[in-house]
Chains A and B, each alone.
Chain A
Amino acid sequence: MADSDSVAELMARCVLRDERAFAQLYRHTAGKLFAVALRILRRQDWAEEVLQESFVNIWNHVNEYAAQKSAPMTWMTAIVRNRALDWLRRPNLERGGEDYDLLVEAVADDAPGPEVLLGSSRQAKALAECLEQLSGSQRQSIALAYVHGLSHAELAMHMREPLGTVKTWVRRGLEKLRGCLQGAPV
Chain B
Amino acid sequence: MKYPADNLRESLAAEFALGTLQGRARRRFERSLKDDPALRRLVTAWQERLVPLNDGIAPVQPPARVWRSIEQRIRKTSRRGAGIWDNLGFWRTASFAASAAVVLLAVILAVGIPTFKPHDTMVAVLSDDQSNPAITVSWQADPRGAERLRVRVMGHADMAPDTAWELWMLPGGDQKPVSLGLITTHENQTVLLPRPLAVAINRASGLAMSVEPKGGSPTGVPTGPILYKGLCTMM
Contacts and interface: CB of A to CB of B under 8 A. Distances in A.
A160 interface: no
B15 interface: yes
Nearest to B59: A31
Contacts of A51: 62, 66
A114 B59 CA distance: 17
Contact of A30 (B56, B66, B111): B66
Contacts of A34: 59-62, 66
Interface of B is mostly: mixed
B60 A71 contact: no
B195 interface: no
Interface in A159-186: 170-171, 174-175, 177-178, 181, 186
Contacts of B93: none
Nearest to B113: A66
Contact of A174 (B15, B51, B69, B117): B15
A170 to B, nearest CB: 6
Nearest to A68: B44
A127 B53 contact: yes
B48 A30 contact: no
A52 B138 contact: no
Contact of B48 (A55, A74, A118): A74
Contact of B19 (A5, A13, A149): A149
A56 B74 contact: yes
Contact of A12 (B18, B19, B123): B123
B18 A13 contact: no
A4 interface: yes
Contacts, number: 201
Given A17-B83, A85-B19, A175-B11, A56 B70 contact: yes
Interface in B34-61: 40-41, 44, 47-61
A134 interface: no
B211 interface: no
Contacts of B119: 4, 71
Interface stretch (B125-133, B161-169, B217-225): B125-133
Interface residues of A, number: 77
A26 B47 CA distance: 21
Contacts of B144: none
A35 B133 contact: no
Contacts of B11: 171, 174-175
Interface of A is mostly: helix
Contacts of A143: 53
Interface in B176-222: none
B149 interface: no
B121 interface: yes
A64 B35 CA distance: 14
B8 to A, nearest CB: 11
A124 B235 CA distance: 21
Contacts of B152: 9
Nearest to B115: A69
Interface of B: 10-11, 14-15, 17-20, 22-23, 40-41, 44, 47-63, 65-67, 69-71, 73-74, 77-80, 82-84, 108, 111-112, 114, 117, 119, 121, 123-125, 127, 131, 133, 136, 138, 150, 152, 230, 233-235
Given A51-B66, A74-B47, 8 more contacts: A17-B79, A32-B59, A38-B60, A117-B53, A117-B56, A118-B53, A119-B52, A127-B50
Interface of A: 1, 4-5, 8-9, 11-13, 15-19, 21-23, 26, 30-32, 34-36, 38-39, 47-48, 51-52, 55-56, 59-60, 63, 65-75, 77-78, 81, 85, 89, 114, 116-119, 121, 123-124, 127-128, 142-143, 145-147, 149, 151-152, 155, 170-171, 174-175, 177-178, 181, 186
12 contacts: A5-B121, A18-B131, A34-B62, A35-B59, A38-B60, A52-B69, A59-B74, A124-B52, A128-B52, A147-B54, A170-B18, A170-B20
